[in-house]
């Protein structure tokens, strides 16, 4: 595994791989690496010949001056995990290497931003999209892999790449789960044993709501209530909402034929629920038949 | 010259050229082609092996719903000029080929936008930057050539490419002038014979201001006044301002050592002057010694 902090070296390395006919993958992470991230590398290795990990822990701290959750950024620990997973290039972006003067160009996604649910303030999301666009420009034409667990950011990255005609494609990978259904996340380690024992209720509640929709429920609030009823006894829900999967537009009706319904029938139920003080997020997709 | 309206075909063509080791140039134009545009092709041919012209007349009309100046868009006429100039690929971007759904990603350049002088409203400039970024993503790694006559848009394009680490570089080309000094522009054809006869005063006035700075003038307003005094008898100045060349920041002092002066000594005098109802823009660079 080649490790570098120089963006010019990464571009050169990956250009050479493409010139030799090899397909390049980029996997981005902000540190706190766990098996969910490693699964992105595994997906990348299925599709591509060369996998580069962009380890953005340092850059994220440098960019967002305050207000952003602190992550566990054990660089050496993360590096060892990615090397063991067969990563070829490990790049640590640093602000002083990327910018001789402060950047003055930012992505704005006004339509989508309006629809974000329970996310950090919009400015932060647009900075994140700008950062991903910038790193994709350095990576060059590639496939890049993000987890479906953070559905809203995945959709924003996909839409940005599509809108700007980036030569790269953003691939969403299924959420990795513990055997009891809990989505793998660095936050899980913050749960007490009792909270961890209760945590499977989140995915179970989402599954119950999805089942209700499959059984014919077309009212978005009623479907969310199915999940909420199961969760309230054990957790403190921030939100459970149904959105149009590809646009994040909040839905009242889940009927694709109805005014304001999901145009292609693809619905995503997004949830954030606190176990004690720890918010866990998760989501599930439901396809509502269009005919 | 290969002509196409399909972005996927352009990308494929130019990727193949690069794969064969040839250097690619992109020249963008919004129609109304004149010898200034052809000079960009000539510059491109000096640096690159393959020149693609992106003819954005149709796209610009489609994007900006109203409020944008109508250009003369004689496609066949422009095509013939570019073919005669030795262009290899002629691409006509069209919205329905580029976007299956309306684009929702836009560039914001807040710092620079604040400094724009006499330009159409900011939203239009940011749309233009977004369009250039998108077209550069389709072109792939290349050199792209823009005239210095439209200094503010050139600097915004350069800054965007630098900030986002596009694999392409934006090259500024010297303004082409008629023998009497008038910058070549499609607007010149709108001047009456009397107005055309007076038009050389614009560049002469800018040159006089630049000479005054070279002779020691360090007050920005006084330098502009040198130009204004020469222009007022024959035209109706909208503005003449001195800005820091690379950032567009308006200057009070031209002394690089003074607080708020041009940090690298590079000053640009920007002017817009109406001859009758026709606004002509022009600009000139001055290097103020830093020691």
Q: Higher model confidence: residue B290 or residue B188?
A: B188
Q: How many residues does chain B have?
A: 291
Å between A200 CA and nearest CA of chain B: 36
What confidence tier does A70 reach under pLDDT thresholds 50, 70, 90? very low
Å between B252 CA and nearest CA of chain A: 22
Domains of chain A: 2-173 (3.40.50.620), 186-287 (3.30.1300.10)
ipTM value of the model?
0.92
- What tens digit of pLDDT does each residue of A158-191 get? 999 999 999 999 999 999 999 999 999 989 999 9
Q: Taking 50 as the threshold, does the pLDDT of residue B68 lie above it?
A: no
Q: Taking 90 as the threshold, does the pLDDT of residue A290 lie above it?
A: no
* Distance, CA of A209 to CA of A222 (rounded, Å): 9
Å between B277 CA and nearest CA of chain A: 35
What confidence tier does A72 reach under pLDDT thresholds 50, 70, 90? very low
Q: Does residue A19 sit at the B interface (CB-CB below 8 Å)?
A: yes
Q: Taking 80 as the threshold, does the pLDDT of residue A71 lie above it?
A: no
Mean pLDDT in residue range B185-198? 95
Q: Does residue B93 sit at the A interface (CB-CB below 8 Å)?
A: no
**Contact state of B138 with A165 under an 8 Å Cβ cutoff:** yes
Are the beta carbons of B174 and B146 closer than 8 angstroms?
no
Q: Higher model confidence: residue A60 or residue A193?
A: A193
Burial B142-165 (b: 16+ CB within 10 A, else e): bbbbbbbbbbbbbbbbbbbbbbbb
* Distance, CA of A126 to CA of A128 (rounded, Å): 5
A221: which 2 tokens? 């609030």
- By C-alpha distance, the chain B residue nearest A99 is B163
A92: which 2 tokens? 């640590």
**Contact state of B165 with A106 under an 8 Å Cβ cutoff:** no
Three-state secondary structure call for residue B68: coil
What confidence tier does B64 reach under pLDDT thresholds 50, 70, 90? low
Mean pLDDT in residue range B186-192? 93
Q: Does residue A134 sit at the B interface (CB-CB below 8 Å)?
A: yes
- By C-alpha distance, the chain B residue nearest A164 is B134
Are the beta carbons of A73 and A32 closer than 8 angstroms?
yes
Mean pLDDT in residue range A49-56? 95
Residue A122: its pLDDT value, please? 66
Q: Does residue A277 sit at the B interface (CB-CB below 8 Å)?
A: no
Given the residues B37, B96, B124, B165, the one annotated as active site: B37
Instruction: Please name the residues between 112 and 131 in chain A that touch chain B, using a CB distance below 8 Å.
Output: 112, 129-130
- The terminus-to-terminus CA distance of chain A in angstroms comes to 51
Å between B19 CA and nearest CA of chain A: 7
Q: Does residue A103 sit at the B interface (CB-CB below 8 Å)?
A: yes
- What tens digit of pLDDT does each residue of A22-49 get? 999 999 998 888 999 999 999 999 999 9
Q: What DSSP string runs through B213-263?
A: HHTT--BHHHHHHHHHHHHTTT-EEEEEEEEETTT--B-SB--TTSTTS-T
Å between A3 CA and nearest CA of chain B: 20
Residue B57: its pLDDT value, please? 75
User: Could you tell me which of B124, B107, B161, B154 has the C-alpha nearest to residue B139?
Assistant: B161
Q: Higher model confidence: residue B282 or residue B58?
A: B282
Most A CBs within 10 Å, among B157, B165, B167, B266, to test the A interface: B165
Residue B107: its pLDDT value, please? 94
- Is B150 annotated for ligand binding? yes
* Distance, CA of B117 to CA of B243 (rounded, Å): 10
DSSP-derived pairing of the beta strands A50-55 and A24-29? parallel
CB atoms within 10 A of CB B2: 12
B227: which 2 tokens? 């130009």
User: Could you tell me which of A126, A141, A129, A54 has the C-alpha nearest to residue A89?
Assistant: A54
Residue A258: its pLDDT value, please? 96
What are the two backbone dihedrals, phi and then psi, of residue B146, each rounded to the nearest 5 degrees?
A: -130, 150
Q: Taking 80 as the threshold, does the pLDDT of residue B186 lie above it?
A: yes
CB atoms within 10 A of CB A282: 24
Q: In what order do the strands lie in the sheet with B169-173?
A: B2-4, B89-91, B50-55, B24-29, B143-147, B169-173
- By C-alpha distance, the chain B residue nearest A131 is B164
Is B37 noted as a catalytic residue in this protein?
yes
Three-state secondary structure call for residue B41: helix
DSSP state of B181: S
3-class SS string, chain A: CEEECCHHHHHHHHHHHHHCCCCEEEEEECCCCCHHHHHHHHHHHHHCCEEEEEECHHHHHHHCCCCCCCCCCCHHHHHHHHHHCCCCEEECCCHHHHCCCCCCCEEECHHHHCCCCCCCCHHHHHHHHHHHHHHHHHHCCCEEEEECCCHHHHHHHHHHHHHCCCCCEEEEECCCECCCCCECCHHHHHCCHHHHHHCHHHHHHHHHHHHHHHCCCCEHHHHHHHHHHHHCCCCEEEEEEEEECCCCCECCECCCCCCCCCCCCEEEEEEEEEECCEEEEEEEEEECCCC
CA torsion, points A95, A99, A101, A102, in degrees to nearest 10?
-60
CB atoms within 10 A of CB B226: 21
Least confident among A35-39, A88-92, A137-141, B110-114: B110-114
- 């794969």: which residue's tokens? B19
Mean pLDDT in residue range A238-267? 96
Which residue among B104, B109, B134 sits closest to A112, beta carbon to beta carbon?
A: B104
What confidence tier does A197 reach under pLDDT thresholds 50, 70, 90? very high
Residue B118: its pLDDT value, please? 81
Instruction: Please name the residues between 148 and 187 in chain B that touch chain A, using a CB distance below 8 Å.
Output: 159-160, 163-167
Mean pLDDT of chain A: 92
Least confident among A100-104, A230-234, B18-22: A100-104
Mean pLDDT in residue range B142-169? 97
Which residue among B7, B108, B129 sits closest to A165, beta carbon to beta carbon?
A: B7
Q: Taking 70 as the threshold, does the pLDDT of residue B62 lie above it?
A: no
Calculate what percentage of chain B has a pLDDT beyond 70: 94
Residue B67: its pLDDT value, please? 35
Calculate what percentage of chain B has a pLDDT beyond 90: 80
* Distance, CA of B265 to CA of B290 (rounded, Å): 6
Tell me, rounded to whole angstroms, the distance of Cα A102 from its chain centroid.
27
Mean pLDDT in residue range B194-223? 97
**Contact state of B134 with A98 under an 8 Å Cβ cutoff:** no
Three-state secondary structure call for residue B284: strand
Q: What DSSP string runs through B74-108?
A: -HHHHHHHHHHTT-SEEE---HHHH-SS----EEE
- By C-alpha distance, the chain B residue nearest A97 is B165
Q: Taking 60 as the threshold, does the pLDDT of residue A209 lie above it?
A: yes
């Amino acid at each position: 595994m080649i490790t570098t902090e120089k963006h010019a070296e990464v571009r050169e390395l990956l250009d050479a791989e493409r010139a030799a006919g090899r397909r390049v993958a980029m996997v981005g992470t902000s540190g706190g690496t766990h098996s969910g991230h490693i699964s992105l590398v595994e997906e990348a290795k299925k599709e591509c010949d060369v996998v580069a990990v962009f380890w953005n822990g340092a850059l994220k701290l440098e960019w967002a001056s305050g207000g952003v959750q602190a992550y566990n950024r054990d660089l050496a620990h993360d590096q060892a995990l990615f090397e063991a997973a067969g990563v070829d290039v490990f790049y640590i972006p640093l602000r002083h290497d990327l910018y001789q003067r402060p950047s003055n160009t930012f992505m704005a996604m006004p339509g989508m931003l309006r629809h974000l649910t329970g996310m950090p303030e919009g400015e932060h999301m647009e900075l994140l999209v700008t950062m991903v666009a910038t790193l994709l420009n350095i990576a060059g034409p590639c496939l890049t892999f993000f987890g479906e667990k953070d559905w809203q950011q995945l959709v924003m990255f996909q839409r940005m790449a599509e809108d700007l005609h980036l030569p790269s494609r953003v691939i969403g990978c299924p959420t990795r789960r513990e055997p009891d259904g809990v989505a793998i996340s660095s936050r899980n380690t913050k749960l007490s044993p009792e909270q961890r024992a209760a945590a499977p209720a989140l995915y179970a509640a989402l599954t119950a709501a999805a089942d209700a929709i499959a059984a014919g429920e077309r009212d978005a609030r009623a479907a969310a209530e199915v999940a909420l009823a199961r969760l309230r006894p054990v957790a403190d829900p921030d939100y459970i909402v149904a959105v149009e999967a590809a646009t994040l537009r909040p839905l009242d009706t889940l009927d694709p034929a109805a005014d304001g319904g999901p145009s292609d029938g693809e619905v995503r139920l997004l949830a954030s629920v606190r176990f004690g003080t720890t918010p866990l997020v998760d989501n599930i997709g439901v396809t509502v038949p269009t005919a």
